[in-house]
Chains A and B, each alone.
Chain A
Amino acid sequence: MEEILEILEKNSRYTVEQIAVMTGKSAEDVQKAIEKYEEDEVIVGYTTLVNWDKTGKESVVAMIEVKLTPQRGEGFDKVAERIYKFPEVKACYLMSGSYDLTVIIEGKTIKEVALFVAEKLAPLESVLSTATHFVLKKYKDKGTIFENNSQDKREAIFI
Chain B
Amino acid sequence: MKPEKMILQKILDIPPSGIRKYFDLLNEMKDVISLGVGEPDFNTPWNVSEAGIYSLEKGHTHYSSNSGMLKLRETISHYMKRKYGLEYEAKSQVLVTVGGSEGIDLALRTLVGPGDEVIIPEPSFVAYQGCTKLTGATPVIIKLRAEDQFKLTPEQLEKALSPRTKVVIIPYPNNPTGAVMNSDELSAIVKILKDKDLVVISDEIYAELTYEGKHVSIAGFEGMKDKTIVINGFSKAFAMTGWRLGYVCGHASFIKAMNKIHQYAIMCAPTTAQHAAIEALTNGDAAVDEMVREYNRRRRVLVDGFRKMGLDCFEPLGAFYVFPSIQKTGLSSEEFCEKLLLTEKVLVVPGTAFGEVGEGFVRVSYASSMKNIMEALKRIKRFISVIT
Residue numbers of A with Cβ under 8 A of B are 3, 6-7, 11, 18, 21-24, 150, 152, 154, 156-159
Is B87 interfacial (CB-CB < 8 Å)? no
Q: Report B19-43 residues with CB < 8 Å from chain A CB.
A: 19-20, 23, 26-27, 34, 36-39, 41
Q: Which of B147-155, B251-259, B296-304 contacts A (4 or more CB under 8 A)?
A: B296-304
| Structural contact, B37 and A154, CB atoms closer than 8 A | yes
| Structural contact, A152 and B41, CB atoms closer than 8 A | yes
| Structural contact, A154 and B39, CB atoms closer than 8 A | yes
**Which of B27, B175, B369, B374 touches A156 (beta carbons < 8 Å)?**
B27
| Structural contact, B17 and A18, CB atoms closer than 8 A | no
How far, in whole Å, are A16 and B127 apart by their CA atoms in the complex? 42
| Structural contact, A23 and B297, CB atoms closer than 8 A | yes
Q: Smallest CB–CB gap between B46 and chain A, Å?
A: 11
In the complex, the chain A residue whose C-beta lies closest to that of B16 is: A158
What range describes how many residues of B lie at the interface? 20 to 34
Q: Smallest CB–CB gap between A29 and chain B, Å?
A: 14
**Which of A22, A150, A154 touches B301 (beta carbons < 8 Å)?**
A22
In the complex, the chain A residue whose C-beta lies closest to that of B372 is: A152
The interface residues of chain A lying within 8 Å CB-to-CB of B17 are 158
Contacts A/B (CB < 8 Å), 29 sampled:
A3-B293, A7-B297, A11-B370, A18-B301, A18-B374, A21-B301, A21-B304, A22-B298, A22-B300, A22-B301, A23-B297, A24-B300, A150-B369, A152-B34, A152-B41, A154-B34, A154-B37, A154-B39, A154-B41, A156-B26, A156-B27, A156-B34, A156-B37, A157-B37, A157-B38, A158-B20, A159-B38, A159-B125, A159-B127
Q: Smallest CB–CB gap between B13 and chain A, Å?
A: 17
Q: Smallest CB–CB gap between A18 and chain B, Å?
A: 7
Is B174 interfacial (CB-CB < 8 Å)? no
| Structural contact, B126 and A159, CB atoms closer than 8 A | yes
